[in-house]
């Protein structure tokens, strides 16, 4: 632009702005490919597209120069310029995208990219030959160098400002996201009650937190890279349980189970395990998140409760009396088999959740043919029983139609509700009557004493 050949010279406006547009579009395309393509394809496509954009801008811009004469370029210089620019731009993207992103890499990539642009430009200019001509140009039809400088500078600064603003907001968003990720990572790594770690697609441990080290005894250096089957028993491994767990997590979205797992020292613990697949932004499976909690104490407590419950069931079922427990709302909570057997009811009669009044009423309805009489008798029975319960407990004796005598003892409990114990006392009453009769009559004649 600063060169003054001493003749009328200008620039074709359409070609000039076309060259600028080519550079902008190619640069954005290069950045997009570098951001979204994986591995070597990212920096190869990014570098080549950037080089194509710069070369298109350069050679289209040279074509836009209008003066009395013509410009010829050496084919060798053209290919050399594009090759230099392409190699250096590709190297720049490779430096920027490979490894951890540091200040050194940032400035190194910037330097290589700048060197690529400069090398392309000066190599191409080195092969330019200007051939003067005799024709004259109308200066009013051309864009003067000064106007072109102002126009392109204004356009470029505007675009550059927009790009810088967008990059600034993107940087702020990235920093915020990175801060959130760092906080979450610190949280996960600092949790000590749960073993939280990741497995790769082959089931090998890829990271490790403090909770995992405390629970399983391995340090990160010892376990990262080893197969997760390390934590399973030989029997589980022989059955393929580690692989099955990952397959279920992959196909169903989650794997949840409990079982014995093993620490570094060989000791076992009862683990609650949750495995979920992890996907990248493109929806590709990249591994699994695994959370393990030591539930050994919970299992021991549950086993003790189960044992007590089994013993209680055995004791209740082997009692000669019938027993049932009602809550404060008169709902049945527990009953043994003898409760129904004493009254001749089916075992499912005294089902958990039925109210005391309903049980009494259904009992009378099953024994009496007249439903009106049955309901009346049931209400009287219910009211007598509730009066005993509200007065602090006691007992009553009911004479059944088959001649048996059934005694029910009511014991209220502090939380509300009561325990009812039912016993067939027919033989006891008969024995007591016989003893009383014998005490008052002669044993041989049966006559009163």
315-373, pLDDT tens digit by residue? 777 777 888 899 999 999 988 888 888 888 887 888 889 999 999 898 889 888 899 99
Residue 153 lies in a domain: no
Q: How far apart are CA 413 and CA 410, in angstroms?
A: 10
Residue 28 sits in the same domain as residue 133? yes
Full-model pTM? 0.45
Residue 446 lies in a domain: no
Residue 286 sits in the same domain as residue 202? yes
Residue 174 lies in a domain: no
Provide CB contacts within 8 A for 361, sequence distance 6+. 374, 375, 378, 379, 382
Domain coverage including residue 209: 191-295
Q: How far apart are CA 255 and CA 311, in angstroms?
A: 34
Residue 325 sits in the same domain as residue 430? yes
Domain-terminating residue out of 117, 143, 169 = 143
pLDDT computed for residue 303 by the predictor: 87
Give the helix ranges, DSSP H, for 6-144: 13-36, 39-63, 75-97, 103-126
Residue 114 sits in the same domain as residue 60? yes
Sites in the chain below the pLDDT cut of 50: 1-3, 141, 158-159, 162-163, 165-166, 177, 180-181, 183-184, 187-188
Residue 352 sits in the same domain as residue 272? no
pLDDT computed for residue 331 by the predictor: 94
Torsion, CA 246, CA 251, CA 255, CA 260, rounded to 10: -40
Residue 225 sits in the same domain as residue 278? yes
pLDDT computed for residue 320 by the predictor: 76
Residue 166 lies in a domain: no
Residue 14 sits in the same domain as residue 138? yes
Residue 180 lies in a domain: no
| Total count of domains within the chain | 3
Residue 136 sits in the same domain as residue 21? yes
Residue 135 sits in the same domain as residue 19? yes
Domain-terminating residue out of 128, 143, 158 = 143
Residue 137 lies in a domain: yes
pLDDT computed for residue 222 by the predictor: 92
Give the number of other Cβ atoms within 10 Å of residue 275's Cβ.
20
Residue 278: strand pairing partners: 287
Q: How far apart are CA 339 and CA 332, in angstroms?
A: 12
Instruction: Report the SS3 class of residue 415.
Output: coil
388-423, pLDDT tens digit by residue? 999 999 988 888 877 888 899 999 998 889 999 988
- Residue 290 sits in a domain whose CATH number is 3.30.450.20
Residue 14 lies in a domain: yes
Residue 248 lies in a domain: yes
Residue 198 sits in the same domain as residue 278? yes
Contact by Cβ (8 Å): 323, 339: yes
Residue 131 sits in the same domain as residue 216? no
pLDDT computed for residue 437 by the predictor: 63
Residue 214 sits in the same domain as residue 96? no
Domain-terminating residue out of 239, 261, 295 = 295
């Amino acid at each position: 632009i600063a060169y003054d050949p001493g003749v009328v010279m200008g620039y074709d406006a359409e070609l000039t702005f076309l060259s600028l547009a080519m550079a902008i579009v190619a640069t954005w395309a290069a950045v997009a490919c570098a951001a979204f393509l994986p591995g070597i394809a990212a920096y190869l496509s990014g570098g080549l597209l950037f080089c194509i954009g710069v070369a298109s801008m350069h050679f289209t811009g040279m074509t836009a120069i209008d003066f009395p004469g013509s410009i010829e370029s050496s084919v060798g210089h053209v290919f050399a310029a594009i090759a230099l620019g392409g190699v250096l731009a590709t190297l720049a993207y490779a430096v920027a995208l490979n490894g951890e992103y540091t200040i050194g890499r940032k400035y190194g990539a910037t330097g290589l990219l700048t060197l690529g642009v400069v090398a392309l430009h000066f190599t191409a200019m080195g092969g330019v030959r200007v051939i003067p001509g005799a024709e004259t140009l109308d200066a009013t039809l051309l864009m003067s160098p000064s106007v072109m400088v102002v126009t392109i500078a204004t356009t470029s600064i505007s675009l550059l400002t927009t790009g810088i603003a967008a990059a600034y907001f993107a940087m702020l968003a990235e920093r915020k996201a990175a801060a959130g990720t760092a906080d979450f990572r610190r949280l996960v790594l600092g949790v000590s009650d749960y073993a939280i770690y990741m497995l790769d697609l082959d089931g090998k441990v890829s990271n490790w937190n403090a909770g995992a080290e405390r629970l399983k005894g391995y340090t990160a250096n010892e376990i990262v890279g080893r197969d997760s089957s390390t934590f399973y028993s030989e029997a589980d491994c022989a059955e393929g349980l580690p692989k099955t767990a990952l397959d279920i997590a992959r196909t169903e979205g989650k794997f949840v189970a409990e079982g014995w797992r093993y620490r570094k020292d060989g000791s076992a613990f009862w683990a609650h395990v949750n495995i979920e697949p992890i996907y990248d932004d493109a929806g590709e499976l990249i591994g699994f998140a695994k959370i393990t909690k030591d539930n050994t104490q919970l299992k021991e407590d549950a086993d003790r409760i189960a044992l007590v419950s089994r013993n209680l069931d055995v004791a209740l079922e082997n009692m000669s009396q019938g027993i049932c427990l009602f809550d404060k709302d008169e709902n049945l909570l527990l009953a043994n088999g003898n409760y129904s057997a004493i009254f001749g009811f089916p075992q499912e009669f005294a089902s958990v959740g039925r109210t005391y009044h309903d049980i009494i009423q259904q009992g009378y309805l099953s024994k009496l043919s007249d439903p009106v009489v049955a309901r009346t008798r049931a209400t009287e029975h219910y009211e007598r029983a509730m009066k005993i319960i509200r007065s602090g407990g006691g007992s009553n004796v009911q004479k059944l139609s088959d001649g048996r005598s059934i005694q029910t003892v009511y014991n209220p409990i502090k939380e509300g509700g009561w325990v009812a114990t039912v016993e067939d006392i027919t033989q006891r009453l008969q024995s007591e009557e016989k003893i009383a009769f014998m005490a008052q009559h002669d044993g041989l004649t049966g006559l009163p004493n």
